[in-house]
Chain A
């Protein structure tokens, strides 16, 4: 059992999250992709914490979690207010500055 397994899994999950952000047109789904990327980074942090034998990586992962919680609150509030104004959650619709 090496820690490489965890790092490779982290890379795969990060990629899935990134591609989700790129291809999904639903704002909430793209946002979930961001969450998946943050989670995979946390996994890498915890795995490296075990490599180094210190708890610093775990503390970093903890802070990432807290900041992600704050980010989700604000982001979802923005999505809800956009939905109220435009009746859509698609990331393509609000192109007010075009033309």
Chain B
């Protein structure tokens, strides 16, 4: 055995904890069914590499490994995986007969050759990097990069710019049709309407009903005759059968919808204060004023005359404010 002992026992422990995990994670590349799992395994390998670099007295490369490989390259891989479809399954059909077994055999041969070479090679005793890292490792690496290999660094800059331009060029897509702006959309819609195709409602869809006890999107609004307007409920809810009947959310609405609604002229004492408030609010609205939310609705409001037709689609009832319940 060659390669003298450098480092500490702690490094040995670190290595034997991380290296087997890295090998297992790398095997995910071979055996994972889904490409995303393989990508996660590879990310684990990259982070393990960063640990090992730091243990090998190369903290600058450890940081660069995390930043460049896990932070940029692997993210790009995952991004493209999501772009082309995560379920892009591997086909198991072999174009070359027995290629898989040949590849595994060659792989075993390669690993045995590499290991044999490394173990039997006559390596010099390891020097260690204490002297080279005297000015801290990043400074030493910087002297090397910007000193003896500065021309290579400039070439790498050119390479990076070229790669960015190449990626833009390769993924560029010519526009084959004109941009459809709002005007064109409207024109197409009107044409379809004239032909009797598509939606036959040119205006925006009516909003769903808003009631005192229910204002979600699943109850229809009421038209002036008290009938529910079906298209005021979103299409998806209608298809799923989640549309509610207005009468099921509010008894008062049920009266309107059933045509049996009578405007409460003189509020009977049997009426609950809630319906008094409602009548008060409606009376105020019938006179053209908006029911004041802040005024305590305890005082009986002027009741609307009985001849007054029933209000159209019930608008939002004033929400009961906190101080309304104080005097009850």
Contact = CB atoms under 8 A, between A and B. Distances in A.
Contacts of B57: 50
B123 interface: yes
Given A1-B11, A19-B103, A26-B35, A12 B49 contact: no
Contacts of B133: 55
B262 interface: no
Contacts of B106: 18-19, 22
16 contacts: A2-B1, A3-B126, A13-B23, A13-B26, A14-B110, A26-B88, A42-B49, A58-B137, A59-B141, A66-B159, A69-B73, A72-B73, A77-B167, A83-B83, A84-B173, A88-B88
Given A18-B110, A65-B68, A69-B73, 5 more contacts: A2-B126, A20-B29, A35-B73, A55-B129, A55-B144
Interface residues of B, number: 90
Given A8-B118, A15-B114, A23-B103, A46 B127 contact: no
Q: B77, B84, B137: which has the most chain A beta carbons within 10 Å?
A: B84
A89 B49 contact: no
Interface of B: 1-9, 11-12, 15, 19, 22-23, 26-27, 29-30, 35, 38-39, 42, 45-46, 49, 52-53, 56-58, 60-61, 64-65, 68-69, 72-73, 76-77, 80-81, 83-84, 88, 90-91, 93, 95, 99-100, 103-104, 106-108, 110-111, 114-115, 118-119, 123-124, 126-129, 131-133, 137, 140-141, 144-145, 149, 152, 156, 159-160, 162-164, 166-167, 170-171, 173
Given A3-B123, A4-B119, A90-B91, A50 B128 contact: yes
B111 to A, nearest CB: 4
B27 A16 contact: yes
Interface of A: 1-9, 11-20, 22-26, 28-29, 31-33, 35-36, 39, 42-43, 46-47, 49-56, 58-59, 61-63, 65-74, 76-81, 83-84, 88-90, 92
A55 B6 CA distance: 16
Contact of A92 (B77, B91, B160, B171): B91
Contacts of B129: 49-50, 53, 55
B7 to A, nearest CB: 5
Contacts of B19: 5, 9
B132 A70 contact: no
A4 B1 contact: yes
B126 A50 contact: yes
A59 B46 CA distance: 18
A61 B50 CA distance: 12
A1 B15 contact: yes
Nearest to A91: B95
A17 B29 contact: yes
A73 to B, nearest CB: 5
Nearest to A81: B170
B171 A81 contact: yes
